[in-house]
Every structure is written in structure tokens, then in C-alpha cells.
Structure 1
Amino acid sequence: MSSVRKPDWLKSRPPSGREFADIRETLRERNLHTVCEEANCPNLGECWSGRSSSRRGSAGEHAGGDGDPPAGEGGGTATFMLMGDRCSRGCNFCDVETGGMEPLDPDEPENVAEAVAEIGLDYVVLTSVDRDDLPDQGAGHFAETIREIKARHPGILVEVLIPDFQGEERLVRKIIDADPDVIAHNVETVSRLQYPVRDRRAGYEQSLSVLAQVERESDTYTKTSIMLGHGEYDHEVYQTLADCRERGVDIVTLGQYLRPSRSHLEVQRYDHPDKYETWRQVAEEELGFLYCASGPMVRSSYKAGELFVDAVLREGKSVEKARDEARRTV
């Protein structure tokens, strides 16, 4: 067991309700996976059960509807995990299964696009397992899914959370060329703790190089995420934020690491919500990030960040107004 006791204020709602069941059925029918389930996201109950306080609501709010919802009136949050439910890497914080890789499903891009319409999303997040076993590490399949969604649903906003593709620029460029609205890649933790937190094939400088390439070669928003609770020092968190901002990252999320099982890394510390608010102020007011979602239950795919992008890109609101509206959901 972890030697650090989980505080009483760190709680999440268990998944339940008709909306949750509807979304799960839609995904099962098409053999699709979400990182919400595979990584045991603590916000799954809120996002899938119609409890979101956001304008767009939860991912299940419009389940069963026909076609695309009107802009600004669709469902909300679900993160599709592409290329299977098993990863070629073994990060010590992650609950996704490792090894036993299977061939890609050629129907997955089309199935994801159909599920987006059935659930009623107007903002979709795509991520994937690492597929180091494939010649292009799955970049082409990822890009095809983006294009399939955009072709069928021109008004939808697409955010992608991509692997590092071992730092190969030609593979990152495949994602850029598919023209998503936000490209995210997570540094996960500070430089000193990259291992044992991440698989040895990942790395701090490699991740920073991916973020820098996205900023250099595209006009999309760039995003990253940092987990706290692995034993990092404040000056290391600050340096990580500064390094990401120097590479042009626009949006950052900070959240508490929660141990998925006894076989994963122990939690070294639980920071109070006040500490997360301090980091938000540092990120936005001192370092100049356009938006920072920071809180114990915040994850890289988080409705507040999506609301910020939605308000700026779709509604043309100012950064300040979009920040204020998105912050109410954290």
C-alpha cells in the first residue's frame, strides 16, 4: 500500500446512469476503446453520466441523436483511444495493459466517426496507445481517423493527444498534415523523474522536441500535461512549465497522480487544491500560457480545457473570457 494517505477531499463519482450505459453500448458495438475506461480516469462518472456543469454537458447528453449536433449544442467529453487497448510500452504510472499487440482494425477510423455522430459530440479527443511494433508506429492510422472525422463532420473540433513516435519528425508531420485543431503531447513529469515514471523509450527532451515541432510546423494549439505527486520539487515543476512554454506550448494541465494498483508507483505526495491554484497563476500570469487547467482531478483530456478551445475557436471569444468560463468547471 502507498505510505501516503489519500485525503478526504480527493474523491470522484462512480460511473452510473442511462447516459453512461448508452455511451458504453455505442463503443462496444463498434469495438472502440476510450482512455476514460482503459486508464481508469477518475472523472469518467462525471463526464459520462450527464453531470457536467459545462455548457456542452457530458458525452452522453445527446446519445442516440441523428447526425451532427448544432455548433455549441452537442454533447461533451469522451476520449477515444485508437489502435487497440494494449500498449507497446510499460509506463509505471499507467493502467493500460502492456504487450500482446494485435493488428490494427482497418474499420476503426470509420467506426470512430460514426460513434462521434451517435453520441453527439461537437468536440472530440483522440489519443492512442504506443505502437512501436508498427513500421510507422501508427501515425498513418491516427491521421486517417482525424481526416475521417473532419470529412464527415466539418464543424467538429478535433483534439489529439499523440505519442512521441520516438521523436521521428516525419511521423509527427503526418499528424500535423491531418489538420487537427489541438495537438497535445504529454511530458508527464519533471526531467529527473522521467524514469521510473515513464517507459525508458520515452524521454523529456524527446517530448519537448515533439512539442517544438508542432509549434514550428503548424498553426494549431499545442498542449501538454504534468502529473504531480511523484516526488517532484517545486523548482522542477516550474522549470518543466518554463521549458514547455519556451517550446511554444499554449495550454497546460496539471493534476494529481493516483495509483492505479499496488503494482504501480506509489504516490509520494497529495497537494492541496490551493497549491494547484498557485500553479495555475504561475502558468498563466507569469509564464504566459494561454490557459492552464490545474487541480487534483484534472487530467490531460479535461472538459475545462476543451471548453476554452471551443470558446476561442468556435465562438471567437477573447482568451480572458474563455478562461473565465472554462475555469468555472475545474
Structure 2
Amino acid sequence: MAVFGCAGCGAVLTAVVSEVALPIHLADTHWETLHPPLLEAGSYAVDPAPYGPPWRQWDEAGAREAAERGRFAPFGALSNGPSDTILLAPGDMRGTRLILERAGGYCMGIDGRDGPNLACLGCDLPVGTRMDDCGCWQVVRLVPQAVVRLPGPPERPIMDWAELLAAGALWHRLSEYRDIPAGVALAQVVVASGGAPVEAAPGPVAELLGRALGALLPAGEGAKRLDLAGPGFGEPAADLVLVPVHPQTGDMWQPRAGAVPVPMDAALWAELAFPPHRTRLPVVGGLPAGVERDDPLPPHSWYPFQPSKEAFRYTLARTPAVREPWLRAIYDRGC
């Protein structure tokens, strides 16, 4: 576990936080809507990609320079900022103030466009960027050159998959934001398909990705079957399997039966593998006559589920395979 302090004066800047894997659904979406924090309180992650100003457009930088910065197709502005920024939940910050002249945003908060906007109260050194505008996950990015890691308690032990399941560590409420990790998963499936047809297994997988895969990939015989696999769930016969990403290490759960694993956010995977509304019903019988439910039925959308187009394109733009003509054509078409 760690505490981060100011490199200028040594003042403590954060609560005690434990390192976790970088979330795979960093894409911003849901404009005009305030997002929840990207990370849970008491945790931090490191983003190896450059972030922050100065910003450059794709045409200005060129494909070669963009690839060096981890971008393989045009998607927003390119950052010339520092790599390895440290991401935290805003509530874990201590001893900082907002730099008001750098607090620009779209309409509901700060979007980080102006660079570091948090300064150390001890020495006034800019140490990080807070973002909480609509369309942005709420997060603070600490500038790695402006902070130091201070001594902290021992790091939490890495839980194995059985412990994660037993502790309920894979379950989190995604609510209306589940389309973001779904868009990431859709991109990963399309890449893994190699451009071949993909048939989603009936049930949760088809409900989540079936329509989008049908629109993006060709139809025909010899389709690759897509299903779920993972800890406590098993390995159905399939060519491609959606598997969870370990929330602490970022490693994928590995199948043994030879199917190609496709990474998926652990919370979304758990929601599909063990749906709450299907696992909390009595095994036999029902409610007594005259007794009404106090647990609401699962919500049913008025329209078919649609994975996030922004998250889909965000993920593909950061995948070297998008330079292949067949995948670039899908990227340009969107989902």
C-alpha cells in the first residue's frame, strides 16, 4: 500500500491507497451526465499512456508519432503530456487546493483540458489534475514527476479467483454505465474474430453483444461461437470466451479447453455469469399468498441494449490491429 506526497516539500497528498489494475474501460461517454469515480476509494492505478497538454491533432502529429504514443487510428487529440500518471478517486486526495485559472470544463465540472489543476497546500507546486465534468469518469491524475511515494503499510495480498468470488470482490453496480465496458468487450471480440462471423451464445452474451456483432461482422457458415467462461462458471464449448480481468493484477482468467480468451471488465463479467435477479430467487416454492415482493424485479429497457460506440472506437484506436484494412473499415464505420 502507498501514500503519495509532494516532491517539492514532502507534504502528504493522499490517503493510504492500494494498487489495482488499470481499469480497461477508460473511455469517456454519457455526455450531460455526471459519472461516478473511476476507481474505488482506497485504491490507485498507473496509466502508462501519455496524458495532458500539450495536445496535438492526428493530422499534425502523423501516424508514426501517434503510434509511438499508443494511438493507431484517429480518435480525439493526441497528448504530449507525461506517461505513468497515477489515478485515484477524488475523495482520496489530501492537502491540495484547486487552481481556479485551470478549472475549465464543458458544463458540469472540470475536464482537465488546462493541465494540472491541483496544487500542494505546502509549496503550491502543481501536482495533479482533477476531472469531474459530465462525460468524464471522476478521477485525479497525479503527475509522476511532481509526487513521491512515501512509506506505507504492506501491500494487500493478491487474492486468487476463488477468494475474489467468495469475498464478492467482482460485483459492483454498473447501472446505466455498463455500456462502457460492454463497448470495450465488443472491440476485443471483433479483434479476436479476425473478421470472421461470430455467433453469440443465447442468453446474457447474445443480449449484450449479439446485435452489435451481427451489424459489424459478416454473416455466414463457419461462425465462431462466443460464450462466457471463468472462475466458478466453467468452460462451455466455444471458440471465443469472454473471461474476467483480475481487478488487482489485470491478468485474464485463462481457459484450459483451448478457446481464445477475450478480456472483459470483471464487474460486467460477474453480472453476466451470476445475474443478481437470477441467483436470489428461492430454489422451490414462492411467496405466500397475499405477500408482496419487497425486492424490485429486474429493470427491462424500453429499447435494445447498445454497447458504447465511444468505448468501442476508443479501444480499437489503441489496438495495433486496427491498421489492418478489414478492421480499419469497421473502425471507420463505428458500431
Q: Which protein is bigger by CA-based radius of gyration?
A: 2
TM-score by length of 1: 0.28
Where is the strand percentage greater, Structure 1 or Structure 2?
A: 2
TM-score by length of 2: 0.28
